[in-house]
Amino acid sequence: MRRYTNYILLFSLLIYASLKVYAEQVTVVYPDVKAPYDIIFKQITLGIETTLEGDVIHIKLPKKFDAKKIAQTIVTDKVIALGRRGMRIAKQIYQEKPVVVGALPIKPNGISGVSLMANPTVLFNTLHELAPDITTITVIYSPASAWIIKDAQLIAKEKGLSLIPIAVNDIKTAVKAYDDIFNGKDLTKMAIWLPLDPVTANEKIVVPTILEKAWKNKMVVFSSKPAHAKRGALFSAIPDNELLGQQLARLINSVNYKTRPSTVKTLNSIKLAVNLRTAAHLGFDYNSKERSNFALTFPN
């Protein structure tokens, strides 16, 4: 009996100790933006708070600030940095304490975090649901988004899809590559994936033309960037901010800043934005059940 009592006591102590650790204070640094843009960070921090047991200290970063000074004011051992301003703080402290970065299209570069780059699995599943005839996916990428391509190829293969990755270094070669795609013969079963890449998914030059040409050629374009669905892509991934917060909270507890390489994960929790006009143009008609899965549809 005494023996069982000791086990129970030990188990309780372990649970307490684990709870104690789990309930450790975390600082969240994120940009202080005005409404309605602040809703994103509110949702992320809510997700963080609901996952973490301990107190969460909020530090809102103004437009101009001294990253070093603010970094010195952080007293907690763990920090979650959000957005571009948060990244500046993370750069100051990521070698001293566990830091994860979110709400940025980051790539593995020493700092752990959850990138806004949507998880290819989710994207390809969605593609299969919304455009079942597509067998080939072409993605043109620059070094900024190269880190995900390898995984994406494997995932595509698993899904029975053929992912054709084309690596480019600049916008000129990117444009030529896109032009070559559109000059191809059979485009009906091919889709173009626009990654979160500032070169190959240039908002001013590439995206408008790609969407226009795709419309003309009745090609499927899907994107990792939320706004592209509104502009004419068949669908795009929208981060589920609260789930993102939860993912970040879980990640911060697993990050060991002393180990290398860092851990950068793709965004698992996404919602869908679907352009129904593009879908109709492409000959797709979704039933109400399918539509109920869409977080956003365009035109509104």
Q: Give contact residues for other proteins (rule: CB under 8 A).
A: 31, 33-34, 37, 40, 83-85, 87, 103-106, 116, 171-172, 174-176, 178-179, 198-199, 201-206, 209
Q: Cβ of residue 166: shortest distance to other proteins, in angstroms?
A: 14
How many CA within 13 A on the CB side of residue 203?
Answer: 10
Give the burial string for 133-156 (b: 16+ CB within 10 Å, else e).
ebeebbbbbbebbebbbeebbebb
Sign of CA dihedral 149, 152, 154, 160: negative
For tokens 């590439």, the residue is 206
80 forms bridges with which residues in the sheet? 28, 100
Q: Cβ of residue 212: shortest distance to other proteins, in angstroms?
A: 9
Task: Between 153 and 223, name the residue whose CB sits nearer to other proteins.
Answer: 223
Helix, strand or coil, per DSSP, at residue 126:
helix
Task: Between 123 and 199, name the residue whose CB sits nearer to other proteins.
Answer: 199
Cα–Cα dist 102/264, whole Å = 10
Q: Cβ of residue 87: shortest distance to other proteins, in angstroms?
A: 8
Q: Cβ of residue 204: shortest distance to other proteins, in angstroms?
A: 5
Task: Between 127 and 273, name the residue whose CB sits nearer to other proteins.
Answer: 273
Q: Cβ of residue 106: shortest distance to other proteins, in angstroms?
A: 7
How far, rounded to the nearest angstrom, does the alpha carbon of residue 279 sit from its chain's CA centroid?
A: 24
CB 106 within 8 A of CB 148: no
Sign of CA dihedral 168, 172, 175, 180: negative
Q: Cβ of residue 25: shortest distance to other proteins, in angstroms?
A: 24
Q: Cβ of residue 36: shortest distance to other proteins, in angstroms?
A: 9
Task: Between 144 and 164, name the residue whose CB sits nearer to other proteins.
Answer: 144
230 CB burial (10 A radius; 0-12, 13-18, 19+): middle
Task: Between 54 and 105, name the residue whose CB sits nearer to other proteins.
Answer: 105
Which two tokens mark 59?
């530090």
Task: Between 178 and 193, name the residue whose CB sits nearer to other proteins.
Answer: 178
Instruction: Outline where the chain has alpha helix (H).
Output: 2-22, 38-51, 67-73, 83-93, 120-130, 149-158, 171-182, 206-217, 227-231, 241-254, 276-282, 288-292
Task: Between 44 and 255, name the residue whose CB sits nearer to other proteins.
Answer: 44
Task: Between 141 and 178, name the residue whose CB sits nearer to other proteins.
Answer: 178
281 Cβ contact list (under 8 Å, min separation 6): 215, 218
Q: Cβ of residue 37: shortest distance to other proteins, in angstroms?
A: 4
